[in-house]
Amino acid sequence: MSQKTVSSPLEDQEDSTRPNAAPSDAYDFLVVSNRLPVDRAGDGDDNGWRRSPGGLVTALAPIMEKSDGAWVGWHGAADEELEPFEHDSMALVPVPLSADELELYYEGFSNATLWPLYHDVIAPPEFHRAWWEAYQRVNQRFADAVIAHAAQGAMVWVQDYQLQLVPAMLRAARPDLKIGFFNHIPFPPQEIFAQLPWRRQVLEGLLGADLLGFQRPNDASNFARAARRFTAATGKGTRLAVMEGGRERLVRAEAFPISIDTQRISELASRPDIIERARQIRHDLGDPKTIMLGVDRLDYTKGIRHRLKAFEELLTDGRVKVGEVTLIQVASPSRERVEQYRLLREEVEGTVGRINGTFDTMQHTAVRYLHHSYPVEEMVALYLAADVMLVTALRDGMNLVAKEYVAARRDGTGALILSEFTGAADQLKQALLINPHDIAGLKNAITTAITLPSGVAGRRMKAMRRQILVHNVEEWSSIFLSRLTEVCR
């Protein structure tokens, strides 16, 4: 391979004195993410904190406990500095962020530049130099926190698109570290990624890792092609080579599709109180023949407008009737200070109001719209109450809601309508796969799901359940970390 050099992603910034050797008392495994795995709790909880829900915490907490691990991330409050602390047998290293940095680094570059760019430009990304400068500054602060707490030869697993510069920053200061990175969202084709003014710096930041994990093989291939085009990296397929200090270092990009805590969802779905809650939900809706369910963050990538349009047209056509079919749409609040999200909320709520105003009866509603976040117990009750799950994302790295619905359907009933543009479609092939842009096709899939014979529905659901019972989130983390160890060896 040719002898080329990959420069630092921050080569234009002024250097500062940073830690470059392992501290004497440190951790041999560190997870780095934008947020720590805890939220502030009310009085009476353990030291004022409670563990956050989510599969990533469930998957990594046992590994951290076994390997003397620590989690590095922001603790959730702006303009506040905290010392490292322990919670629930996990060592936590808070990284402070100011209100200005949250606006520029998180709401700006992460969620108004990278998020739309990486989701096929469904909404137009914005490119502002002040946002980029904040993104560099915050990434360096995260890297410095890792450097200060990593033992010699420690394994570091950096999570997601907010921290893409961290791997190269760690590599420059601590070449002894074993560095993995996982991208939880899609990685776009190089023709789309090329729009980013700082494309080379971001790619070189990622190339600091030994192993890069993506949700789908196409994401890994997209990254590798972009790296070969816009940096000095060489190689074939998803095996890349970079030159550092006159020596060649290999970087691998591979697919590691994430999953869920299948056992927990399945156990919740068998609890009598949650089963009773599901019955109550159906009763409160007037015991319709079919309940359809959508559960999403209120995000333009989720295709909420598309499913509402399809449902409205089905009602207009008379193919479904209010009283027989009800749609529950849970849209949890998301990034409400970002303009695109404010506009989306107005449009969705206006559409729901129009549908209900046109089709509601005195006894029944067409769409029950819930702009809230709910605890996992209530979500599982909704999964049990729903006959049809609608996942119509326009682009999604994985979509764990689809897998949670399947995990909850212990009796093998129910139908899953799933966008082919989600990572979950690679594993849940027995779902009714749809192109959410094809409204006519989506309408047909809905009517098919409503009328699917029980035997056919049962075979499809049981096949999907077998897949996720085997491939759960613990397997995902174990395979990634084993592969990272192998690559570094």
Tally the residues of the chain. 489
Q: What is the mean pLDDT of each run of 10 residues along the chain (489 residues)?
A: 38 44 74 93 65 76 79 95 90 96 96 96 96 98 98 96 98 97 97 98 98 98 98 96 92 96 94 98 97 95 97 98 97 84 93 97 96 93 98 96 97 97 97 98 98 96 95 93 95
Q: Kindly report the CA angle at 261 between 260 and 264, in degrees rounded to 5?
A: 140
- Residue whose pair of structure tokens reads 């989600």 in the numeric block: 422
Contacts 24+ apart (CB under 8 A), 463-469: 463/430, 464/406, 464/416, 464/428, 464/430, 464/431, 465/406, 465/407, 465/409, 465/412, 467/427, 467/428, 468/259, 468/260, 468/262, 468/403, 468/406, 468/407, 468/427, 468/428, 469/262, 469/266, 469/407
- The Cα 155–Cα 205 span in angstroms is 17
Phi, psi of 365 (to 5 degrees): -115, 150
Cβ–Cβ < 8 Å for 24, 151: no
Q: What is the pLDDT of residue 22?
A: 53
Q: What is the pLDDT of residue 21?
A: 52
Cβ–Cβ < 8 Å for 251, 233: yes
Q: Please tell me what DSSP assigns to residue 102.
A: I
Cβ–Cβ < 8 Å for 139, 106: no
Q: What is the pLDDT of residue 62?
A: 72
> Tokens for 174?
């601590």
β-strands 90-94, 85-87 pairing: antiparallel
Cβ–Cβ < 8 Å for 179, 171: yes
Q: What is the pLDDT of residue 409?
A: 97
- The Cα 105–Cα 9 span in angstroms is 16
- The Cα 203–Cα 257 span in angstroms is 21
In three-state secondary structure terms, 150 is strand
Residue 156 burial (CB count, 10 A): 28
- The Cα 193–Cα 186 span in angstroms is 11
* Cβ density class 320-344: b for 16+ within 10 Å, e for less: bebbebbbbbbbeebbeebebbeeb
- The Cα 242–Cα 230 span in angstroms is 13
- Residue whose pair of structure tokens reads 């809230």 in the numeric block: 372
- The Cα 319–Cα 127 span in angstroms is 45
Query: Could you tell me the domains of the chain?
Result: 27-258+474-488 (3.40.50.2000), 262-470 (3.40.50.2000)
β-sheet bridge partners, residue 50 = 39
- Residue whose pair of structure tokens reads 């047909």 in the numeric block: 444
- The Cα 320–Cα 447 span in angstroms is 8
Q: What is the pLDDT of residue 83?
A: 94
- The Cα 346–Cα 358 span in angstroms is 18
- The Cα 403–Cα 464 span in angstroms is 9
β-strands 325-332, 69-74 pairing: unpaired
Q: One-letter amino acid identity for 104?
A: L
- The Cα 135–Cα 131 span in angstroms is 6
Q: What is the pLDDT of residue 47?
A: 64
218 CB-near residues (< 8 Å, 6+ apart): none
